[in-house]
Amino acid sequence: MDLGTYLHDKKIIIENTLKEICASFISTPGVLRDAMEYTLFSNGKRVRPVLAIAACEAKGKSSDDILPCACALEMIHTYSLIHDDLPCVDNDDLRRGKPTCHKVFGEALAIMAGDGLLTEAFRIITDTRYTERLSPKIIKQVIFEIASAAGAEGMVGGQVMDILYDGKEGSKNILQYIHMHKTATLIRASVRIGAIAGAAKAKELKNFTKYGECIGLAFQIMDDILDTEGDEEIVGKRLKKDANKQTYIKHYGILASKYKLEQLVNEAIQSVDFLGEDARILKAIAQYIGSRVS
């Protein structure tokens, strides 16, 4: 199966499960549910859940094993986008090709839609009706991985440094911290939870982790490149907004950034060589991340 078909098929099962999850928000006020679903069902690429599934499948397990946890990742990622777009943060009016959540529902509801998605994500992982295929031990590990990657030690910490260093000179170390924490840790965690659900052994998990870290960093470098050279219509968000931010382009220039991106993709591909033929999809995803246009 080629990567295009794989991504298309997985996107369908992820979105169907997300719909099932949203149908469980029975006593949620209608307007809150609308605000949560509005951004959740815009045209996201679903990279993080696909990675969790691909890592799990690479270890020979069914996508069903990790699917609800993969959807929880997408809910957390979507919360981060909603909050990132707020007037007090990046003040963006376009996301996933549509007006941002706060533009449609107002700031208060956008904040709460984000809060709702973040918190419900952890309910899904701990609700055995969804995750009955996983042992309590694995569920606990998955929660630890996701909470560490999304919290103050991960994505939120990275986002705070991104805000603090907006318009400041910064340094390559600060840039590395921001990119690793703001973007790469959640991507790395996506790969790791798939591998953990696939019963990866310690040495294998180390290689999956390297893969996740490399593509996570590559993903953010590509985000920086797209902000400079991308097509707003295709990317689905406002571009050329990061001129004052700590970006690879600012610290290394466009050519060196593209070179670094290529190196990271190659490193990611090598990291999963140990899987043999079962690494095919993970390798194709790494290549896609290095050449994506949206």
Nearer to ligand GRG, 77 or 192 (CB): 77
Q: How far apart are CA 57 and CA 54, in angstroms?
A: 5
C-alpha of 63 from chain center: 18
Least separation in angstroms between CB 94 and ligand GRG = 11
Least separation in angstroms between CB 133 and ligand GRG = 25
Nearer to ligand GRG, 65 or 90 (CB): 90
Nearer to ligand GRG, 14 or 200 (CB): 14
Q: Give the side-chain half-sphere CA count within 13 A for 287.
A: 11
Q: How far apart are CA 63 and CA 112, in angstroms?
A: 31
Q: List residues near ligand GRG by CB under 6 A.
A: 44-45, 47, 77, 80-81, 83-84, 89, 96, 155-156, 159, 182-183, 220, 223
Kind plus residue range of the DSSP H or E element containing 95: strand 94-95
Q: Please, what's the largest Cα pairwise distance for the chain?
A: 52
For residue 2, count CB atoms less than 10 angstroms from its CB and return exposed for 0-12, middle for 13-18, buried for 19 or more: exposed
Least separation in angstroms between CB 215 and ligand GRG = 12
Least separation in angstroms between CB 81 and ligand GRG = 5
Radius of gyration of the chain (CA): 18
> DSSP secondary-structure letter at 246?
-
Nearer to ligand GRG, 60 or 87 (CB): 87
Nearer to ligand GRG, 16 or 62 (CB): 16
Least separation in angstroms between CB 154 and ligand GRG = 9
Kind plus residue range of the DSSP H or E element containing 94: strand 94-95
Contact 184, 213 (CB under 8 A): yes
Nearer to ligand GRG, 45 or 251 (CB): 45
For residue 76, count CB atoms less than 10 angstroms from its CB and return exposed for 0-12, middle for 13-18, buried for 19 or more: buried
Nearer to ligand GRG, 22 or 156 (CB): 156
